[in-house]
A and B are shown apart, each in its own frame.
Chain A
Amino acid sequence: MSDLRDLYQDVILEHSKTPRNYRELPAADHKAEGFNPLCGDRFTVYVTLDGDTIRDVSFQGSGCAISKSSASMMTQSVKGKTLAEAEKIFERFHEMVTGHAPAAGNESELGKLTVFSGVSEFPVRVKCATLAWHTLHAALEGKQDAVSTE
């Protein structure tokens, strides 16, 4: 049986209550809105680039504990990374939460994000965990339309 505590780890709950980088970046040169029509989660992700490097990243919006904490920890993990590095982290993260690759062995790339490995036991929550990442991806690609998880 999947255990709730695997999903709602303390780090996740803490980030959902006090999300990091939770602000608008007025000077952002990339920005996108992400939306999960199923539950109404909605986030805006802001990015400023310095050449190929993510100089600053932030988010705002509303959502469940999983989506909010995931957005918060995402901003921490990609700040200062190159675009290629950030993409790589997203790939690993996606594999982990969809149960396609274990967290173990990928700690070096995922770092603290391994706390989300429990999500793979809750398939309906995968969209929550990846919403901010899809939105970041859209922001970097310069997509105009809001991304949707559906």
Chain B
Amino acid sequence: MTTAARKLDAEQRPAPIGGGLDVARVRADFPILQQRVHGKPLVYLDNAATSQKPRAVIDAIVRYYEGSNANIHRGVHYLSEIATKDYEAARRTAQEFINAPHAHEIIFVRGATEGINLVAQTFGRARVQPGDEVLITAMEHHSNIVPWQILCDEKGAKLRVAPINDQGELLLDEFAKLLGRRTKLAAVTHVSNALGTINPLKRMIELAHAHGVPVAVDGAQAVPHMKVDVQALDCDFYTFSGHKVYGPTGIGVLYGKSALLEAMPPYQGGGDMISSVTFEKTSYNKLPYKFEAGTPDIAGVIGLGAALTYVNGLGIGNIGAHEHDLLVYATQVVSAIPGVRLIGTAKEKAGVLSFVIEGVHPHDIGTILDQEGIAIRTGHHCSQPLMDRFGIPATARASFAAYNTREEVDALVRGIGKVREVFA
């Protein structure tokens, strides 16, 4: 299809009746979905690892490199001006997307991992002292465990872990009990990548704040699936990765409250993050540039802006409702298969279906499904302590996005049937 034809196509697209998603149209936006894998139509159910990218994102990146590539914030010339404008427009798009009060509270980072490390190494390092405690939960991704372990080791502080129940839900009472005089920070995930559990984040933040404890949120698995409002949550930090929300890899967002960001020491030193440098003294640039040292991933930021705009076009509420429908359906049909056990059965869940099959290692499930063209994730999902909690080495995980269909869930069920046949 030519660009012109595509544009026309997009303009003529009728609004879906009564809200909701026109999934066939959504699928047509994602070039990668049209292919076959091992001779079968691709069924991409590994969205919690990374989502696919719509044409709009790919085009925005190509347009930038073909039409306006230049370094930003330092050129007087035409291209630099356009690149800077587009880069800063994406910042405002991200700001609105999570309803941050100010654009300068949006810091572009490589992804959730870097966002968390930034908070640990600046805010955390200044705040946490020997004997203090950092509180996390039992369902964190390694990226929300290890940076705090490093910090605690360095400071002689203690990492405390709020437990979960067998359904994979946080024990809120236990979380509250662990908030004490020595707690200097709580770092918690909004949605679990391995289980799909949606945490009662607002309540957790209220509890933490009642103890004067600031809260840093890992939103990597929440932002793609639900409306996130950092003001309503009143979180102190919130981070997410672009690549899980239809954007490019290598780019993400860290939101922080102005007052905290102002008081924090910088993360990395270099160009762009200073206002003046002599060999004796450097004064730092204002927000957000203080935290954006060096030439950033300009194409990535522009691509991320396009991705968030794309999501706005579909409606995050519509996406969430569609994924919820798939989750309910998949839960029903997959758990009905003999020998299959779901891991993570919280009442509040995002579109993640983690499961094990009796007598079959998840790795073998993954290989057999792959031969059917079905992409899922198998392993510990960067959550080894969580796997230990459930007494399993790994799970198989299917995770949903806006473009997935009930037919694909049916394909998954047939694929699992094949697994059971091979291992009968």
Contact = CB atoms under 8 A, between A and B. Distances in A.
Interface in A1-37: 1-2, 4, 7-8, 13, 17
B422 A8 contact: yes
A125 B368 CA distance: 12
B244 interface: no
B338 interface: no
Interface stretch (B154-162, B252-260, B378-386): B378-386
Contacts of B423: 8, 13, 65
A70 to B, nearest CB: 13
A122 B367 contact: yes
B297 to A, nearest CB: 27
B364 interface: yes
Interface stretch (A38-46, A104-112, A135-143): A38-46
Contacts of B361: 39, 62-65, 68
Q: How large is the interface on A (under 10, 10 to 19, 20 to 34, 35 or more residues)?
A: 20 to 34
B371 interface: yes
Contacts of B19: none
B363 A128 contact: yes
Nearest to B422: A8
A40 B422 contact: no
B193 to A, nearest CB: 16
B362 A39 contact: yes
A32 B32 CA distance: 44
A149 to B, nearest CB: 12
Contacts of B362: 39, 64
Contacts of A2: 38, 371
Interface in B355-401: 359-364, 367-368, 371, 378-380, 384, 387, 393-394
A47 interface: no
A66 interface: yes
Contacts of B394: 39-40
Interface of B: 38-39, 359-364, 367-368, 371, 378-380, 384, 387, 393-394, 422-423
